[in-house]
Amino acid sequence: MLWLYVLPCVLLLAILVVLGYAAYIHYQHVKYSHLPGPKLKGFFVGGSDFLDEIGKGELTLAEAVYNMHKEYGRVIKMFFFHAHFISVIDPMAAKTLLMNNEFAKPLYVYQGFQKVFGQRFLGYGLVSETDTTKWERHRKIFNPAFHRKYLMELMHVFNDSSDRLIQYLSIKADGKTEVSLMDAFGRLTLDVIGKAGFAMGDDMVFNDTPFTDALGTAFEAMSRQGREIFLFMNPRYSAFKYRSKARKAIQLLRKTGEDIIRQRIEDQKQGKDLPKDILSFIIKEAIVEENFSIEEMVDEFVTFFGAGQETTANLLSFTLLCLGQNPEVLKKVLQEVDTIVGQKEVLEYEDIAKMEYLMLVLKETLRLYPPLFGTARYLHCKMEIAGYDMPVGTTIFFTNYAMSRAEDYFKNPLTFDPERFRRDEDK
Ligand code: HEM
């Protein structure tokens, strides 16, 4: 007869939990009621009509958010269950929040980078560290790696990998074979980051290795985990198999990184000549920081591969697409490259700065097709953004895909016009 007492208690508890959760969602709705945004699809789930097309595969999230900004202005709000999504397209706010280290990267966004299906992935590397004090210390050590002087020393890697790409494409250039240039650029940037970052000897332009396969699988899984929020607990066998494949791919990446790091530490102990690459910065970070574990070094290894490879490959792919769609621009780029590079076998660092028009083309491509469509920061204090009061505890998303397509900031924003960066009005 015990159940006669237990059952009502369980039911009562369940009702109280649901009521408590509903009250919390209501509180969130009230807290942000002053912000514009589309109508919710449901009280509990949140969502909006704008997002339906993403589910059907007709729009990307970036495009859906862009459409919402077109309709509602510089600030939009949405909810997913109790979580708020506030996107802002305001350059002043972007400058204030992104250039001030005290605004942290919000954990609920970046934990999707730290772990994928429970497996440590980018961990607590530069991209996904949400503790501002730790991030700042690590960033100071890495700052020289982002400096021009450091890149100047890597010209031989860029030249060598580019030669390999040309060789790779020449073999296929029989006038019949179709080549995915997106794939080819992915090979190129993988080769560059492998060599410039970690002195990896493998030729990754020509060869598909278990490492290159694992990289693709792991990053696709990270992205799917963000898009399909219930995938991590989907009980279907196919979902279980997918999660297991993703975890194994990440383990392979991290094990490769660990082996390279241990070997470098060993070489250092033996007083061998060490290459000047990103790995040297990682080892230096470990020396400066006490208690910096191998796991944390592996975090940085995976982070630099992740941050540097697909982003640059996508920029190259989109640039080519824009050039294909704009023959006049292509003609000018070719003229400039012919004048500055001509028959030269090896490019000098100084040559790059001379290709001013190409630089405008890259900027214009980044404006229309940013490889990362946005980023987010956490407000630990109240702030007015684009005329709206933002309460403490708000996570602000900067959707640069939408900001750089807004008429408020760019004339004829959808036109591919590299020269706009030379004109004052669009600066
Ligand atoms: C076109 C190419 C690239 C684009 C569009 C791009 C874009 C970005 C963006 C938007 C962020 C800020 C992320 C955030 O705050 O959430 C970021 C951070 C970062 N990127 Fe890149 N990136 C590119 C290339 C690279 C390359 C080549 C490397 C390294 C070899 C790299 C390494 C990093 C690192 C380590 C961070 C974290 C910096 C920090 O928070 O201290 N990126 N990148």
Tell which CATH architecture fits domain 112-318: Orthogonal Bundle (1.10)
Q: What is 246-295 written as a DSSP string? A: HHHHHHHHHHHHHHHHHHHHHHHHTT-----SHHHHHHHHHHHSTT--HH
pLDDT at 426 over 70: no
Ligand 1 pocket test: which of 122, 127, 141 has the largest number of ligand atoms within 8 Å of its C-beta? Answer: 127
pLDDT value, residue 56: 77
Whether 94 is in the pocket of ligand 1, judged by its Cβ within 6 Å, is no
Distance separating alpha carbons of residues 189 and 305, to the nearest angstrom: 10
Whether 315 is in the pocket of ligand 1, judged by its Cβ within 6 Å, is yes
Each residue's pLDDT tens digit, 277-333: 889 888 888 887 777 889 999 999 999 988 999 999 999 999 999 999 999 999 999
Each residue's pLDDT tens digit, 1-34: 677 788 888 999 999 999 999 999 999 999 999 9
pLDDT at 425 over 70: no
The residue whose CA has the least distance to atom 27 of ligand 1 is 308
pLDDT value, residue 1: 67
Average pLDDT over every residue of 98-113? 94
Whether 119 is in the pocket of ligand 1, judged by its Cβ within 6 Å, is no
Tokens of 10: 């369980």
Whether 372 is in the pocket of ligand 1, judged by its Cβ within 6 Å, is yes
Each residue's pLDDT tens digit, 222-269: 989 988 888 999 999 999 999 999 999 999 999 999 999 999 999 988
Distance separating alpha carbons of residues 186 and 206, to the nearest angstrom: 11
Grouping H, G, I as helix, E, B as strand and the rest as coil, residue 384 is: strand
Whether 209 is in the pocket of ligand 1, judged by its Cβ within 6 Å, is no
- Asked whether the whole model's pTM tops 0.85, one would answer yes
> How many whole angstroms from 127 Cα to the centroid of ligand 1?
8
> How many whole angstroms from 16 Cα to the centroid of ligand 1?
45
Whether 308 is in the pocket of ligand 1, judged by its Cβ within 6 Å, is yes
Each residue's pLDDT tens digit, 44-92: 888 888 888 787 778 888 999 999 999 999 999 999 889 999 999 999 9
Q: What is 37-90 written as a DSSP string? A: -PPPSBTTTB--HHHHHHHTTSS-HHHHHHHHHHHH-SEEEEEETTEEEEEE--
pLDDT value, residue 301: 93
> How many whole angstroms from 32 Cα to the centroid of ligand 1?
31
Whether 126 is in the pocket of ligand 1, judged by its Cβ within 6 Å, is yes
Whether 311 is in the pocket of ligand 1, judged by its Cβ within 6 Å, is yes
The residue whose CA has the least distance to atom 29 of ligand 1 is 308
pLDDT at 113 over 60: yes
Average pLDDT over every residue of 198-223? 88
Each residue's pLDDT tens digit, 318-364: 999 999 999 999 999 999 999 999 999 999 999 999 999 999 999 99
> How many whole angstroms from 308 Cα to the centroid of ligand 1?
7
pLDDT at 427 over 60: no
> How many whole angstroms from 313 Cα to the centroid of ligand 1?
13
Identify the DSSP state of 104: P
pLDDT value, residue 282: 87
Each residue's pLDDT tens digit, 118-140: 999 999 999 999 999 999 988 88
Q: What angle, 0 to 180 degrees and rounded to 10, lies between the N-to-C axes of helices 210-227 and 181-198?
A: 110
Cα of 252 vs its chain's centroid, Å: 21
Mean pLDDT (the chain) is: 92
Which atom of ligand 1 lies nearest, measured to the CA of 303?
Answer: 35
